[in-house]
A = this chain, B = another copy of it.
Amino acid sequence: MQVMQKLGMGQAVNQALREEMRRDPRVFIAGEGVGVSIHVNPMFPTHGLLEEFGPGRVKDTPVSEAAIAGLAVGAAEAGLRPVVEIMFNPFFTLASDMIVNHAAKLRYLSGGKSTFPLVVRIKSGAGFGAGCQHSHNLEAWAAHCPGLKVVMPSTPADAKGLLKSSIRDGNPVIFIEHMGLYFAPMPVPEEEYLTPLGKADIKREGRNLTVVTWSGMLGVAMGAAEMLSREGIETEIVDLRTLAPLDKETILNSVAKTGRLIVLHEATRTGGFAGEIAAVVMEEGFKHLKAPLRRVTGPDIPVPASPPLEQFYIPDENDLVRAAKEIF
Contact = CB atoms under 8 A, between A and B. Distances in A.
Given A101-B90, A275-B275, A131 B109 contact: yes
B272 A144 contact: yes
A123 interface: no
Nearest to A275: B275
Contacts of A270: 143-144, 146, 244, 246, 276
A104 interface: yes
A143 B294 CA distance: 20
Among A146, A295, A301, find the residue whose CB has the most chain B CB atoms closer than 10 A.
A146
Nearest to A132: B105
Interface in A192-219: none
A147 B292 contact: no
Contacts of A140: 140, 144, 271
Contact of A268 (B108, B132, B144, B274): B144
Among A96, A108, A131, A144, find the residue whose CB has the most chain B CB atoms closer than 10 A.
A144
A101 B141 CA distance: 14
Interface in A242-297: 244, 246, 263, 267-268, 270-279, 281-284, 286-287, 289, 291-295
B301 A108 contact: yes
Interface residues of A, number: 55
A260 to B, nearest CB: 11
Contact of A91 (B93, B97, B304): B97
Contact of A283 (B244, B284, B287, B293): B293
Given A144-B271, A263-B279, 19 more contacts: A93-B100, A94-B97, A96-B96, A105-B133, A140-B140, A140-B144, A140-B271, A143-B271, A144-B267, A145-B268, A244-B271, A246-B270, A274-B279, A275-B278, A278-B279, A278-B283, A282-B293, A283-B294, A286-B293
9 contacts: A93-B100, A100-B136, A104-B302, A109-B131, A140-B140, A140-B144, A144-B272, A244-B271, A283-B294
9 nearest CB pairs, A to B: A275-B275, A144-B271, A286-B292, A278-B279, A93-B97, A282-B293, A93-B96, A275-B276, A143-B271
